[in-house]
Amino acid sequence: MDNKLSRYDILSLVLGSIIGWGSFTLPGVKFLQQSGVINTAIGLFIGGVAIIFIQKGYHIMMQHHGEDGGEFSYAYKNMGRQHGFIVGWSLILCYLSIVPLNATAFVLVMKILFGSKVEFFYLYEVAGYPVYLSDVLIASIVIILFALINIRGLRKSSNVQNVMVLFLLVNVVIVFIAMGMKAGTATLVENYVVNYRFSFGEVAKVLAIVPFIFVGFDVIPQVVTDLKFKREQATRVAVLAIFSGIIVYTMLNIITGLAYAPEQAGAQEWALGSAVLHHVGMFGFLLLIIALTTAVSGGINGFMISSSKLLSALSSYGMLHAKYTVKNKQGVHHKSIIFVTIMSLIAPWFGREVIIYIVDMSSLLAAIAYLYVCWIGFQKAAQKLDKYLSFVGVLISISFIGLLIIPGSPGLLSRPSIVFMAIWGVIGFLYYKQYVNKTSFTEKDN
């Protein structure tokens, strides 16, 4: 039982996966410019409530399904091999892309602290983003560090996560209070409160990325066999983490809005950091950097765990090589972690912009998994209320997908993201036909 995860361990894992690099950068690059403060808060709240409905499907899954692999093995068991593969293939890229995204965010943290001194050996440019050897080395060191922590066991990585999330929450609260006292509310009221009008389009732009923002709660079904408490109780932890995430995202957006009008925020390299540095000073800025560092670390750790668990589950169902099911003395699927590490080490060589294109797909990929879980929950629910709530989750999942792929939608994916999505789909189709469909497998089926 000492190696099992408590409620606090799970809360830390989920929160650390929800509150990542995006919560610190989206206020300047997206939220304030596109949706302001109030419509962003509304979008986050509605999105959080929507995820709660989806979470009902996950609650039903936790009642009926207790295997590693989460949505993948759940879909496999209830809808068959093809549907299981679709869910697994979607989640692989969703998880794997977030690890190098957060790792490359460490590079940006170093540049914020030390400027161009950390840039050396220019290599090339990808999608308008320059790639330096120093960027690749910093990201690689971070990825390898967390791989080593995870290979030592889930208990070790969870202890690290607990400390990081505590620092994250405390520092954000301190900076929020200090910013309110130093900057005042004049800029916020003038630009975001006076003459405010509700705009569904602005709210929808936030809603479109909600599946990506809150995909961190998905770490729970991936570690279901490692829980110290009844798995059905994990729903409460997920709900608490989701609403805590909403509060932190909103606080960071307000901090930036206290200092900058929308166009001013867009002109800053890092609007949130500049706001805190200008009004609170270096001490507040360092607290923010610590919070950012722990958030990024939490994202890497959480999704490295999720990725390795998913890979081992795919392997146990005959969809990957059997070696990924092997455990070391600490009970860790170490070869799965090594695979995740290798794939994550490749990504920084393509530049951060390409990684962001792939991460943008994560909302769509996550929404596909949500749809499957809620649909199966609708079919399996014993009570009418659970059936109703699961069906609402189905409709919400379809709405998320529509926001991302319907032409003219305010949340439509960028063209590069759509291209990458198509490529990933084709690769998955060919892989299934050439390998998975030809693999004889009966252990789990029976």
Q: Would you kindly state where each structural domain of the chain is located, as residue ranges?
A: 7-438
Q: What CA–CA distance (Å, rounded) separates 260 from 268?
A: 9
Answer yes or no: are the C-beta atoms of 337 and 150 closer than 8 Å. yes
Q: What is the pLDDT of residue 408?
A: 87
> Going residue by residue through the chain (446 aa), what tens digit of pLDDT does each one get?
456 788 888 889 889 888 887 888 889 888 999 999 999 999 999 999 998 889 889 989 988 887 878 899 999 999 999 999 999 999 998 888 888 888 887 887 788 778 778 889 999 998 788 889 999 999 999 999 989 988 887 777 788 888 889 999 999 999 999 999 999 999 999 999 998 999 999 999 898 888 878 888 888 888 877 888 887 778 888 889 999 999 999 999 999 999 999 999 988 878 999 999 999 999 999 999 999 888 888 888 888 888 888 999 999 998 988 898 888 888 888 999 999 999 999 988 988 777 777 777 888 898 999 999 999 999 999 899 999 999 999 999 999 899 889 998 877 888 888 988 899 999 999 999 888 776 655 444 43
Query: Yes or no: is domain 7-438 CATH 3.40.630.10?
Result: no
The DSSP letter of residue 117 is G
pTM here is 0.86
Q: Classify 184 in phi/psi space as left (phi over 0), alpha (psi -120 to 50) or beta.
A: left
CA dihedral sign of residues 293, 296, 298, 300: negative
Buried b (16+ CB within 10 A) or exposed e, 335-345: bbbebbbebbb
Quick check: helix, strand or coil at residue 24? helix
208 residue type, one letter: A
Answer yes or no: are the C-beta atoms of 208 and 363 closer than 8 Å. yes
Q: What is the pLDDT of residue 106?
A: 81
Q: What CA–CA distance (Å, rounded) separates 211 from 7?
A: 23
Distance from chain centroid for Cα 299 = 7
Closest by Cα among 10, 20, 110 to 298: 20
Answer yes or no: are the C-beta atoms of 273 and 105 closer than 8 Å. no
Q: What is the pLDDT of residue 116?
A: 79
Closest by Cα among 441, 110, 124 to 289: 110
Rg (alpha carbons) of the chain, rounded to whole number: 21
CB atoms within 10 A of CB 267: 13
How is 123-184 classified by DSSP, letter by letter? EEEETTEEEEHHHHHHHHHHHHHHHHHHHT-HHHHHHHHHHHHHHHHHHHHHHHHHHHHHH-
428 residue type, one letter: G
Q: What is the pLDDT of residue 1?
A: 42
